[in-house]
Amino acid sequence: MNNKITRKLILYFLLIVVSNSLITGSILVFLGQKAYVDSYKADLLRRAENIAHGISNNMDIFSGGEHGAAGQARKGMGKNAREMRVSPKYINWMDEVLDGNIWLIYKTDKVFQRATADIRISYEDLSPHEKLAIDEAFEGKAVTTESFDNIFEQGTLSAVAPLKDKDGSIYGAILIHENISIAKGFVNSALYIIIISVLVGMLIAFVLVLFFARRFISPINNIDIAVKQMIDGDYTVKTNVMQDDEIGKLAQNIDELALRLEKSRIESENLDNMRNDFISNISHELKTPVTVMKSSLEGLISGVINDYEIDDYHNLLYKEISVLERLVADLMELNSLKNLSFPMNFNEEDLISILKDAARSQRVLAEEKGIELQINTEHAYHMIYCDYTRLRQMFITVINNAIKYSSPNEKVIIKEYADGDNIKIQVINKGKGIDTKDMEHIFTSFYRGYDTPEKGFGLGLAIAKEIANRHGIDINVVSGEYGETVFEFVM
């Protein structure tokens, strides 16, 4: 397999781990940053409102003498205006305590009051977005904004809250500016954690992929080895893969394929052997009559045969030609019966009549050997759909063999009876019996026992078997240790 699947699995798993880490990390950073900033805005806004409320309730403490440029700018404005302003020292104190920038702006002059007043900043110096935040505070709304980036460094968050007097009238606004660069630090830390997580995940994924890839590929390698052996002609091989998944099913199918191919190979060998045996047997069967006919004709042609022997030679030639004729007829009949398209004359016939007709045709042969034919039928008649002539021929073949291979003065018993939904017919004889090694070949064409005294071509039972197959009849053969042989027809 050259580890191609292993490399692909490692690549796919690493891509999954990296993609998942990047997507999850990006979502985490984005949502985390947003949640942090939203929380920071809410806290800053709360503090701005609390400070504004504290200033309004304690103006007599926070107000004081005016100093600096801001005091000079407000000269001549009147006592109430001066009283409603916070002393710069308190603004400076709040800057130090809160670690931020506190600005105050009043409706009267709209100039920002700051701890450090080196540069004068007024409402008119602001951008439209900054002015909008101040206007909303003058209307009584507390808001947050990031629009003061042009004054402070980028990443400054500002909260604006209205300043109210004891009567609830708005006379100004307080601004708290704080740097939120800590959020950027959060993002950088999160990215660092994500990178470390990705690297660790890739390492773990690599180890796990190697482990599972080996388990995954091992059965595939076994299947590959088995298939290669099958290609080389070894169909007895097994994959030895036993698992309940798609690969297991594939392995089972490969094992089943190997089993069927081995079965087909054996059947093919058997067919080759049968073909060779057929050629050998038919050559043997043809050799004897041809040799007899040839030698007889040579004698007749050469004139060495006496006149009174010529008729005997003619009879001998006729007998041998009849043997050849019967052999050819049997072969043609067997071949026709094996061809399923060969027509048969099926009609509604009485099985009992066919059986008795077949037995009756063999009485002369039975009497010659002193054999008694005994017929026992349970039914007076039994109608079946069959070819009368072929079925009669099947019974004749088996009854004829039973008579031939019975010991003298024995009985051949023919029984018919019902067995459940089936009708059974048994032909029973007593004689030498069938040898165990011959039992599985008795329906094979040209097969004859090695020590059988009877003449024949070994085609009779093969033809009977084909007739039974065409009628859907099962034939069972049992040969007992006391020489009793039973041919049973189940239909």
For residues 124 and 210, give the distance between their C-alpha atoms in angstroms, rounded to a whole number.
Answer: 69
How high is the pLDDT of residue 350?
92
- SS3 of residue 356 by DSSP: helix
pLDDT attached to residue 77: 39
pLDDT for residue 67: 41
* pTM of the predicted structure, to 2 decimals: 0.43
Write the DSSP symbol of residue 10.
Answer: H
Distance of alpha carbon 452 from alpha carbon 469, whole angstroms: 27
Q: What share of the chain in percent tops pLDDT 70?
A: 80
pLDDT of 445 reads: 65
- Return the H-helix or E-strand segment holding 373: strand 372-377
Q: Indicate if the pLDDT at residue 454 is higher than 60.
A: no
Query: What is the DSSP code (8-state) at residue 416?
Result: E
* Contact of 355 with 394, CB cutoff 8 Å: no
Q: Who wins on pLDDT, 81 or 472?
A: 472
Q: How far apart are CA 175 and CA 121, in angstroms?
A: 13
Q: Which of 36-45, 348-357, 431-440 has the lowest average pLDDT?
A: 431-440
| 182 or 213, which is more confident | 213
Q: Hey, what's the torsion of the CAs at 325, 327, 328, 334, to 10 degrees?
A: 140
Give the least confident one: 78-92, 234-248, 298-312, 409-423.
78-92
Closest by CA position to 370, among listed 327, 408, 402: 408
Average of pLDDT values for 351-366?
88
Q: Are 460 and 441 in contact (CB under 8 A)?
A: no
Q: With b meaning 16 or more CB within 10 Å and e meaning fewer, what string describes 138-175?
A: beeebbbbbbbbebeeeebbbbbbbbbeeeeebbbbbb
Question: Between 158 and 32, whose confidence is greater?
Answer: 158
Least confident of 158-167, 172-181, 333-342, 474-483: 333-342
As separate numbers, helices (DSSP H) first and strands (DSSP E) second, the chain gives: 14, 12
Other beta carbons within 10 angstroms of residue 56's beta carbon come to 20
Reported as a pLDDT band with limits 50, 70 and 90, residue 63 is low
CA dist., res. 236 & res. 258, Å (int): 7
What pLDDT is stored for residue 184 in this prediction?
Answer: 62
CA 65, distance to chain mean position in Å, is 90
pLDDT higher than 80, residue 97: no
What's the one-letter identity of residue 319?
A: K
- Measure CA of the first residue to CA of the last residue in the chain; give whole Å: 56
pLDDT at 282 over 70: no
Note whether 407 and 431 are within 8 A (CB).
yes
